[in-house]
Each structure stands twice: as C-alpha cells, then as structure tokens.
Amino acid sequence: MLTASAASRPAVRIPALLFSVAVAGSLIGFTWEHAVYRGSGGTQEEWSPPDLTTEVAASPRGWVRTPAEEAILQRTLVHFPPYPKASRPEALAADYLGPGAPMAVAWFSTEDSPKQVLEHYAQALLAKGFPVLRQSHGENGGYVGYWSPATEEVRLVSTLAQGGETLVFVSAGQVGPMLERAAAVPEWLPVPPGLQETRTVNFHLEGASHHVVTGWLQEGAPDAAAERYLAQLRAKGWTVGTPEPVAPSGVAFEVVRDTVSGRALLRERAPGPGVELHLTLLRRSVAP
C-alpha cells in the first residue's frame, strides 16, 4: 500500500514505492546477514539506490493523516527518537511485500547531510545498547539500524541526498518469509554452476525490477570462486568491475549488462566450508 499523502507530498522527489523497494533490499540483506553471521555485528553494501529525479506533485501542507497512515507511523517511528530540525514525518507505504512479510515505511526530510543523520541515529542506538548495523554510500546516503531478535524484525533509517536536502526513510519489516518462498532464478541471470540452496526474491514495479539471489558453493575460497564467476559473466557478455576485498573474508565486484546493473558478493560460508554468494541486481525497463 502506498499512501495518498506520500504520493503527493512536495519533498518526495523520487518514485516513492521504488525507493521502498530499495529499503526492502536493505532489509533482505540484513536478514541474510543475520541468518549466516548471527551476532557478528558486521555488514557490507548489498545494494545502492538508483539516481532518480522524478518529481511528484505537491499537496497542501495541512494534509490530515488517515487512521491507516497513523498506524504506519506508529509501526516505524516508535523504534527511533525524533530527528531535530526535520519536517513532519509522513507515512509512505506498508505491507507491499506480500502476505507473511509485514513492513511499514515512513519518511521525513532535513537540511542536514546524510552523514549527520546516520551518525545521530547510530549514537542513539548505541546509547540504548543495540548492536548497530550500518552502511554508508558516500555523500549520497546510506542506512543504519538493528535487528530485533524478539520480533525477528529489522529496523532501519535510510537516507538519500536529493535536491539540496536529505530524505530520511524509517522502516520496520520482516522479510524472512520472502526468502522461504523464493522464486526461480530468471533465465537471463547467470549464476555459478553448482550453486546450492539458491534463493531468489524478485520485485516487479513499473519501470524497473529488483532481483536478489543467494546460495552457496562447495568448492574453493572466495577469491577462486570469484575468478571463475567473473570468467562466466564475461563469457556471457557482462561487464564486470575490479574485485575488491570485503570483510569478513570476501570479495565483491560490480556487474553491468545493457539495462541491468548490480553487485556480486562472495565470501566464506559460516559455518564452512564453502563460499556464499549474494547477488543484487536492478533491471530497468526499456521504453517501446
């Protein structure tokens, strides 16, 4: 559900539901991270939001919230303290991931930088004793949050620099059930031979689709597995970036082909032996 006010507030300068999928992608990454590296407290970049500039029409500032919007705000904002010097929080979307994967997203804006917002909430969470999970996408944004074992819920503050301000998206959701009902890997998407326990989650929206693929390989170390996968991708016409080390014990690289771009991450499986694969892709539709 995308709320009416969220679709018409003047500060939302990206397609709101598509960015909600970006938030969902972060949630999926956190869920997988927690399942494989339970209690490690570390995370790596899984997906970066696309550069979007679509304008959304303005609405009167005196918009009255509906009971449904108030419920979304309660589900999200209750986990984080209010941010100083911010606009009034508004409901954005809820429960768009399907049955069994409840999720709610609210948003507000501020003139502070994404770095300032993320540091504020990181310190607030640390003060409460939460194990903070965070990732920065440079000057343009990032996210900070934590996993709640009691409710099996991931709670995030995601930021995006846009139009001279910072858009802040506060979310709480459970996406573990989506991994349990994972779909088949799309035929156009190459994965390493012998990939086991493959799980795929596909989000389809107007203008784009987001794909998350996970699994593991029995043989080799991350570097050797990455070298074989890079050769496979090149042979199928993909452009790949320079591999870079990531912690703990992994390697990652960018992948691009036509309207598809994303990131592949391979690292030691815990518990081992084996190599874990985590692939995230954004596929943009081509206008006829």
Residues 6+ apart with CB under 8 A from 284: 50, 207, 208, 259, 260
Using alpha carbons, select from 14, 4, 7, 5 the residue that is nearest to residue 163.
Answer: 14
Question: Do 277 and 186 reside in the same domain of the chain?
Answer: yes
- Choose the most confident range, by mean pLDDT, from 43-47, 76-80, 276-280: 76-80
Residues 33-57 have pLDDT tens digits of 443 333 333 333 333 333 333 333 3
Q: How many residues does the chain have?
A: 288
Mean pLDDT of the chain: 75
162 & 240 share domain? no
116 with 165, same domain: the answer is yes
- Both 212 and 113 in one domain: the answer is no
Could you tell me if residue 164 is inside a domain? yes
Closest alpha carbon to 152 in 131, 177, 130? 177
- Which position has the token pair 């030691």? 268
The reply to whether 99 and 155 lie within a common domain is yes
CA distance 209 to 191: 18
Domain count for the chain: 2
109 in the same domain as 22 = yes
What pTM does this model have?
A: 0.55
Residues 80 and 197 in one domain: no
**pLDDT attached to residue 5:** 45
Domain that holds residue 252: 182-284
Claim to verify: residue 93 and residue 210 sit in the same structural domain:
no
Whether 33 is covered by a domain: the verdict is yes
Give per-residue pLDDT as tens, 100-144.
Answer: 778 888 889 999 999 999 999 999 988 888 878 777 767 878 888
* Shared-domain flag, residues 156 and 265: no
Which of 140, 175, 210 is the last residue before a domain boundary? 175
Whole-number Cα distances in Å, 206 to 57, 96, 164: 18, 14, 27
